């Protein structure tokens, strides 16, 4: 902050303008993306960085795993490319899980921003692409080399000239070449939009660079975050969670130390790496652990390098939360999405009035490889194959004063793809997509409901799908007397039980039925407001038996 109130107002106006710049950057990606995960679900991030690679502002549209990991990734780009090799018109690319956002399916793009011939900062963006080759989007690989094409930090464009060799390599190593290459250029276009809007801002305010506004943004954010930490009770808290893992349970253990000007989250005691692709690179662990801390402690303070800096996250190397290369990491989100609930569980001992209970957390992503049956006669022009991805969410945990949210993606924040949009890109039929009654944990405040998704190959087709589901054997726990949410399940309509992880087959004529888990309840169910129970009954959220047995109705 400055000593001149008029200068502070001017800086605040320019800060708000930076937010609008990155919002338009993100919307360009949404509007030009080829894949439904970006276009429909918003599985992306966009942000502006100063010359040192420090994140100044991020778009609201985006996921914490992308945004916070990208905040560290830009520094890797600057070091790898080298300041002497950064030119106007350059665009840089990677999907390195350890220096990007955690797995090969995320493409991160960084574009240096020049004004009047001088480097003034960077724009960065990330999006999930539908395919990167290899085994496809699933947890079955035993090394990252099996999971797809690995693009190291390199130049997609130099001085405006496209690296056609790189584009050709990508095109010939993925199943959906047009979608993937299209998304790569969409990422480059969105960064260019951010750069052009920033130039407009600099001309309007008669500035040569963004150094002064960057200093203001970072100092104000740092000071505000430290004030929030200073107001917390000091001490140590522990929490542990068990999740399903792949064939064996995984323990996530946390020790949280709250100091005067920093909070240290240490995941010592967590399970070791898995031989399957549920492992998490440390950059992604940091992203979601910091998000959990920020949600509870400083949710209204802008998310940037300075507001994240007081949160220190560590995990033992070789643990499932600090998996070294070449561990498989394709579905790192399954374990990574539990980390905010682990962090919030520890904070519940310090801030019980502010922290929700455990929720479904991990997205129930389903990647379908749809193929025409060999005996099928297809209509002229019909697709013979398609790679399709859909996100689905269970219920969130109840809050100390409110019910949980039903079928809501916390902590990822993505939207689900509409079934209409999904059916347009491939030969599948959705027969049901509705809330799952009774799945929210009972409590004074009820956990959010999961949902039922029923999908089948269209006539003449069959599909394999990659399961990456959790909260089946270990449902979300309640708190303060609240009950656990219902665990999930996956089966065919003939009763065949499907595995929770890995590649499986759905033949023509069969339907895959997914029942997603609910969130945990908060407080004694018998203390729930009678009118709230009546409303739940009327809405079909609970059965009469549940109302009597759980709530004493």
Do 216 and 360 reside in the same domain of the chain?
Answer: no
pLDDT value of position 6: 54
When pLDDT is averaged across residues 294-317 and rounded to a whole number, the result is 96
Residue 24 pLDDT grade (very low, low, confident, very high; cuts 50, 70, 90): very high
> What ranges in 277-331 are assigned the alpha helix state H?
282-297, 305-308
Within-domain flag for 293: no
Read off the pLDDT band of 115 (50, 70, 90): very high
Q: In the prediction, which pLDDT does 505 show? A: 98
In percent, the amount of the chain with pLDDT more than 70 equals 99
Domain membership flag for residue 48: yes
Respond yes or no on whether the N-terminal peptide bond of residue 438 is cis (omega within 30° of 0).
no
* C-alpha to C-alpha distance for 253 and 267, rounded to whole angstroms: 5
- What residues contact 226, with CB distance under 8 A and at least 6 apart? 261, 310
Q: What is the rounded average pLDDT of the residues 253-267?
A: 97
Radius of gyration for the alpha carbons in the chain, expressed in angstroms and rounded: 24
pLDDT for 415: 86
Domain encompassing residue 379: 356-553
Could you tell me if residue 227 is inside a domain? no
Residue 449 inside a domain? The answer is yes
In a domain, 250, yes or no: no
pLDDT for position 416? 84
Average pLDDT, stretch 94-117? 97
Task: Work out the mean pLDDT of the chain and round it to a whole number.
Answer: 95
Exposure string for 2-17, b = 16+ CB within 10 A, e = fewer: eeeeeeeebbeebbeb
**Rounded mean pLDDT, 193-201:** 97
Count of Cβ atoms closer than 10 Å to residue 473 Cβ: 13
Q: In this model, does residue 476 exceed pLDDT 70? A: yes
What number is the average pLDDT over the span 488-512? 97
159 belongs to a structural domain: yes
Q: For the residues 428-446, what does the mean pLDDT come to?
A: 97
Task: Report the candidate in 264, 241, 261, 237 with the shortest Cα–Cα distance to residue 251.
Answer: 241
**β 55-58/91-94 pair status:** unpaired
What confidence score (pLDDT) does residue 380 get? 75
Question: Is pLDDT above 90 for 60?
Answer: no
Q: How far apart are the C-alpha atoms of 170 and 148, rounded to whole Å?
A: 10
Q: Is residue 432 part of a domain?
A: yes
Per-residue pLDDT for 5 more than 60?
no
Please return the burial class of 97, using the count of CB atoms within 10 Å of its CB with bins 0-12, 13-18 and 19+: buried
Peptide bond into 411 cis (omega under 30): yes
**How many domains, in total, are found in the chain?**
2
End residue of a domain, out of 163, 189, 221: 221
Where among 178, 206, 221 does a domain terminate? 221
Q: pLDDT tens-digit profile of 27-40?
A: 999 999 999 889 88
Whether 91 has a pLDDT exceeding 80, the answer reads yes
Q: Per-residue pLDDT for 1 more than 80?
A: no
Q: Which of 191-205, 369-383, 414-428, 444-458 has the lowest mean pLDDT?
A: 369-383
Domain boundary among 151, 186, 221: 221
**pTM reported for the whole predicted model:** 0.95
pLDDT at position 3: 56
CA angle 361, 141, 366 (to 5 degrees): 40
Helix-helix angle 544-551:530-539, to 10 degrees: 160
156-181 pLDDT, tens digit each: 999 999 999 999 999 999 999 999 99
Residue 312 pLDDT level (bands cut at 50, 70, 90): very high
Whether residue 420 is contained in a domain is answered as: yes
Query: Could you tell me what percent of the chain has a pLDDT over 90?
Result: 91
pLDDT for 381 equals: 73
pLDDT band for position 42 (cuts 50, 70, 90): confident
């Amino acid at each position: 902050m400055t000593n001149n109130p008029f200068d502070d107002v001017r800086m605040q106006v320019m800060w708000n303008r930076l937010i609008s710049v990155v919002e338009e950057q993100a919307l360009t990606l949404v509007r030009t993306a080829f894949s439904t995960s970006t276009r429909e679900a918003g599985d992306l991030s966009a942000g502006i960085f100063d010359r040192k690679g420090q994140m100044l502002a991020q778009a609201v549209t985006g996921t914490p795993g992308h945004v916070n990991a990208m905040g560290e990734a830009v520094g890797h780009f600057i070091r790898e490319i080298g300041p002497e090799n950064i030119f106007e018109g350059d665009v840089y690319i990677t999907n390195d899980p350890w220096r990007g956002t955690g797995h090969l399916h995320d493409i991160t793009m960084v574009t240096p921003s020049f004004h009047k011939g001088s480097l003034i900062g960077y724009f960065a963006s990330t999006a999930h692409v539908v395919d990167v080759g290899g085994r496809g989007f699933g947890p079955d690989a035993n090394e990252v080399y099996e999971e797809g094409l690995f693009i190291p930090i390199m130049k997609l464009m130099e001085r405006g000239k496209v690296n056609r060799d790189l584009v050709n390599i990508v095109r010939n190593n993925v199943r959906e070449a047009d979608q993937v290459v299209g998304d790569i250029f969409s990422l480059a276009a969105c960064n260019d939009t951010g750069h052009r809007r920033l130039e407009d801002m600099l001309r309007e305010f008669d500035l040569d660079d963004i150094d002064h506004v960057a200093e203001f943004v970072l100092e104000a954010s740092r000071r505000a975050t430290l004030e929030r930490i200073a107001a917390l009770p000091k001490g140590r808290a522990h929490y542990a969670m068990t999740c399903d893992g792949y064939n064996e349970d995984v323990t996530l253990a946390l020790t949280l130390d709250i100091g005067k000007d920093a909070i240290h989250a240490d995941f010592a005691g967590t399970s070791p790496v898995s031989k399957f692709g549920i492992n998490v690179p440390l950059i992604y662990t940091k992203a979601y652990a910091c998000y959990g801390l920020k949600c509870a402690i400083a949710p209204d303070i802008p998310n940037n390098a300075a507001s994240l800096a007081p949160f220190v996250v560590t995990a033992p190397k070789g643990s499932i939360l600090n998996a070294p290369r070449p561990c498989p990491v394709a579905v790192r989100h399954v374990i990574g999405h539990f980390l905010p609930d682990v962090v919030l569980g520890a904070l519940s001992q310090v801030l019980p009035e502010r922290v929700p209970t455990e929720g479904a957390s991990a997205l129930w992503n389903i990647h379908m490889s749809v193929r025409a049956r060999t005996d099928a006669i297809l209509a002229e022009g019909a697709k013979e194959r398609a790679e399709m991805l859909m996100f689905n969410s269970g219920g969130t945990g109840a809050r100390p004063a409110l019910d949980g949210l039903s079928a809501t993606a916390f902590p990822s924040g993505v939207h689900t793809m509409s079934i209409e949009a999904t059916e347009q890109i491939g030969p599948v039929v959705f027969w049901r997509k509705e809330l799952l009654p009774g799945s929210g944990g009972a409590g004074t405040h009820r956990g959010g409901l999961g949902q039922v998704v029923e999908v089948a190959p269209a006539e003449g087709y069959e599909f394999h799908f990659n399961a990456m589901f959790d909260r089946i054997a270990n449902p979300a726990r309640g708190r303060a007397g609240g009950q656990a949410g219902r665990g999930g399940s996956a089966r065919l309509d003939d009763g065949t039980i499907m595995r929770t992880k890995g590649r499986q087959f759905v033949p023509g004529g069969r339907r895959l039925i997914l029942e997603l888990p609910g969130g945990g309840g908060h407080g004694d169910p018998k203390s729930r407001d009678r009118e709230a129970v009546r409303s739940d009954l009327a809405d079909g959220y609970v059965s009469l038996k549940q109302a009597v047995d759980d709530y004493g109705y």
